[in-house]
């Protein structure tokens, strides 16, 4: 089923902005959030469910720092002949450890993906297998050396208040 672009109301934007700023570890976190945006708890939970179903909310809950629980990640690029992208993407995407994969505009390195795994050995094994299965040997493996910032907070209300920015968990490599 093709994904439809969601139509967000002003109330949705307020709700999503508040959600991005985070909720508290209290027994009724959504009641607290509802009070902030002037909704009832029941209406807020119902709307969150819909927004999740619509795909507007990709994930809700605890944003885990993968490094702190022993995971390690890397960014990789592969030089794929454009015609082979679908087939090569299928190989890359078959690994649950691959969390993101994008086609990017570059004359050589056009497929960029992140791997998140419990060990460097597992990452190297996945890269070896991808090379073997696709026959593509021109690749980059670029593990992060230092993180200066991880934060994705979409400015939904046109304000520039980013004090409570939410990091993008998908990028936790």
Partner 1 sequence: MTEQEQRLILELGNNFPLTSRPFREIGKRVGMSEEAVIAKVKEYLEKGIIRRLSAALRQQHVGFTANAMVVWQVPPERVEEVGRKLASFPEVTHCYERLPTPEWPYNLYTMIHRPRREECWEIVRRLSEAVGIKDFLVLFSTQELKRSNPQYFTERGEGSE
Q: Which is nearer to partner 1, 62 or 135 (CB)?
A: 62
92 binds partner 1 per the rule CB under 8 A: yes
- Count of residues in contact with partner 1, rule CB under 8 A: 85
128 binds partner 1 per the rule CB under 8 A: no
21 binds partner 1 per the rule CB under 8 A: yes
Q: Pairing state of beta strands 111-117 and 72-78?
A: antiparallel
CB 168 within 8 A of CB 151: yes
123 binds partner 1 per the rule CB under 8 A: no
Position among 106, 119, 120, 132 found at the interface with partner 1 (CB under 8 A): 106
CB 35 within 8 A of CB 145: no
Q: To the nearest whole angstrom, how small is the minimum distance from the Cβ of residue 135 to partner 1?
A: 19
Residues 119 and 125: their CA atoms lie apart, in Å, by 10
Residues 12 and 127: their CA atoms lie apart, in Å, by 41
10 binds partner 1 per the rule CB under 8 A: no
Q: To the nearest whole angstrom, how small is the minimum distance from the Cβ of residue 123 to partner 1?
A: 13
End-to-end CA distance of the chain: 30
């Amino acid at each position: 089923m093709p994904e439809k672009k969601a139509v967000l109301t002003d109330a949705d934007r307020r709700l999503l902005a508040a959600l991005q700023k985070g909720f508290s570890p209290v027994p009724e976190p959504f009641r607290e959030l509802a009070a902030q945006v002037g909704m009832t708890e029941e209406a807020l939970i119902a709307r969150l469910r819909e927004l999740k179903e619509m795909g507007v909310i990709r994930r809700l809950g605890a944003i885990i720092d993968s490094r702190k629980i022993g995971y390690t990640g890397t960014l990789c690029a592969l030089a794929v002949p454009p015609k082979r992208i679908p087939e090569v993407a299928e190989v890359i995407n078959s690994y649950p450890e691959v969390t993101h994969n994008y086609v990017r505009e570059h004359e050589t390195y056009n497929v960029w993906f992140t791997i998140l795994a419990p060990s460097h050995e597992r990452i190297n094994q996945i890269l070896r297998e991808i090379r073997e299965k696709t026959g593509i040997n021109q690749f980059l493996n670029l593990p992060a050396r230092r993180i200066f910032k991880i934060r994705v907070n979409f400015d939904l209300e046109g304000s520039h208040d980013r004090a409570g920015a939410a990091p993008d968990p998908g990028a936790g490599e």
